[in-house]
Chain A
Amino acid sequence: MDAITIKNLKKIYPKIEALKGISLSIQKGEFFGLLGPNGAGKTTTIHILTGLANKTSGDVMLFGKDIEEDYKEARALIGLVPQEFNFDQFEKVYNILYFASGYFGISSNLRKVRIEKVLRELGLWEKKDMKAITLSGGMKRKLMIARALIHQPKILILDEPTAGVDVETRKSIWKFIRKLNQEGVTILLTTHYLEEAEELCERIAIINHGEIITLDSKNNLLKLLEGERLCLTLKEEIKIPANLKKYNVVLNGKIMTIALDSKKDHWETVLADIQGLPIEKMETQKNKLEDVFIHLTNE
């Protein structure tokens, strides 16, 4: 049974069609990425899954439970880490988790055990008596992760979980959620950091203007743009020579980037064409998910 099944999901706001009938399935235990530019429909999709938005039409099932007809059972399966801080900022860290886990029907005694465990794992135990407002941005993100996990959900949904956190915190969050996934938790991640999706996700859907424009494994997506880029650092600023106009060339000051298509561009020809340029340094780069994303969304 799939963890998440979405069929022909539509969401129409008075002035905009946010989702134009998207369909996708996420398997149990999968680490799935939902990418797209701002306003593409990622957060709307997540809000519908978690009960924060009503769908206009279509079907959404979580482990076979319909999100509207069986809304209580469906919501018990999900842990949500939203994009914006949505806890009572003036409440103590411990109490935020105590109340949130209570809403999921967890007994008082079990709550105490779980709160200590998750706070220790995320390095927040020492902060348990502090008011949430006093925490740093990274700690607040971790607090939202702790809250989402306190009822041990089968599906964890992370909406931009590392937005605005430093590199070290980001890496520790990656490590933590990767471990959760290895323990069997199905993860749906949306992120603006394509490096994050490339690092973590097995399959990726790219959504734009309310439609899924591609859905494939990360490796297949990376193959979509076969080829490399040749990056030249020039000694002086020049104009793009006429013989290079057959390539996809971007010139930014003294940095010239030539995108190469491995099917038609041959190295001997390329090297011959760049002869005579005032090259100081030359290197090649493999395509990244970011290139695929830009290619597909034209953003």
Chain B
Amino acid sequence: MSNLTGMWTLAQREISRFLRVWQQTIIPPIITSTLFILIFGYSLGSRIKMVGGIGYLEFIIPGLLMMGVIMSAYMNTSSSLFISKFQKNIQEVLVSPLAYWQVIAALTLAAVLRALLVGIGILIVSFLFANLVVGNIFILLYFIIMVSIIFAFAGIATALWATSFDKMNVFATFLITPLTYLGGVFFSVQMLPPMWQNFAKFNPILYMVDGFRYGFIGTSDVNIWYSVILVFLLVVGFGALCVHLFKIGYKLRD
């Protein structure tokens, strides 16, 4: 039984959920990124010398875009699934003949769409302020979609694990946000002292931002293939984790 209708219905519900409150789901990350562009890029950035051979504004935009994408994908699945658990309407899905991978795929599809809409919004704003040139559209699409999927999966895993709203915020506040800010959004890893450069290489978000930036400027701090492969492995790893958690009913079934 393939039940693609079921999968699409769940994705539809998730998409309509975030579109219904677009003022809360789409606009805020675009405004935040615009403020970063104006303050760090346009204003302060004009006093900072070139980074990696390009203007500071052009340097930070791919990172800001990736920040918006990461948080949007993560927030979509984590908040939706957690509230569904809290309200118990996740039971509608659990009693249905949807395969576990289909539930995950539907939640992820909606999260990727939200992340793409946020990404496109930030990109449009960026074009107004910077001389952006798209170097490799396939690399851009690869990173934006794969990174959205990784953080959609991470959001699912967090929502399953969390038993309270406080716990829900633990990962976003203490892990994703610091790793994103330290992941080379505002600086090149080569600007760090050698010891911190080595530390930074353990931060997976660095590879995501760096790989995505490669799609614009054609150069990267880390070998692009490392980033491509790491992102692929993270998708496979988090995907397998989510399917496993659903299969055993981790904090979903008594």
Contacts and interface: CB of A to CB of B under 8 A. Distances in A.
B6 A103 contact: yes
A88 interface: yes
B92 interface: yes
Interface stretch (B43-51, B96-104, B154-162, B177-185): B96-104
Interface in B50-98: 84, 87-89, 91-98
Contact of A72 (B88, B89, B99, B248): B99
B254 A103 contact: no
A180 interface: no
B89 A78 contact: no
A169 to B, nearest CB: 22
Interface in A267-281: none
A53 B93 contact: no
B221 to A, nearest CB: 45
Given A72-B1, A78-B95, A86-B91, A105 B254 contact: no
A50 B97 CA distance: 10
B94 A52 contact: yes
B232 to A, nearest CB: 29
B249 interface: yes
A147 B96 CA distance: 11
Contacts of B88: 84-86
Contacts of A104: 3, 6, 96-97
Given A73-B1, A105-B1, A52 B91 contact: yes
Contacts of A288: none
A76 interface: yes
A100 B99 contact: no
Contact of A52 (B1, B87, B95, B98): B95
Contacts of A78: 95
A78 B9 CA distance: 19
B253 A105 contact: no
Q: How large is the interface on B (under 10, 10 to 19, 20 to 34, 35 or more residues)?
A: 20 to 34
Contacts of B244: none
B249 A103 contact: no
B5 interface: yes
A88 B13 CA distance: 11
Interface string A102-144: 1111110000000000000000000000000000000000000
Nearest to B103: A103
B189 interface: no
B10 interface: yes
A284 B5 CA distance: 60
A85 B92 CA distance: 11
Nearest to B88: A86
A53 B254 contact: yes
Interface in A64-111: 71-73, 75-76, 78, 80, 82, 84-89, 99-100, 102-107
A253 interface: no
B253 A99 contact: no
A45 B8 CA distance: 31
Given A52-B95, A87-B89, A87-B92, A103 B1 contact: no
A294 B87 CA distance: 35
Contacts of B254: 13, 44, 47, 52-54
A71 to B, nearest CB: 8
Nearest to A90: B87
Contacts of B12: 99, 102
Contact of B249 (A54, A75, A88, A105): A54
A89 B87 contact: yes
Interface string B1-37: 1011110111011000000000000000000000000
13 contacts: A50-B95, A52-B91, A71-B97, A73-B97, A86-B87, A88-B89, A100-B92, A103-B10, A103-B96, A104-B97, A105-B4, A105-B6, A147-B92
The 8 closest A-B pairs by CB, nearest first: A102-B9, A103-B96, A53-B254, A86-B88, A76-B97, A72-B97, A105-B3, A103-B6
Given A52-B254, A86-B92, A99-B10, 4 more contacts: A72-B97, A88-B87, A89-B87, A103-B6
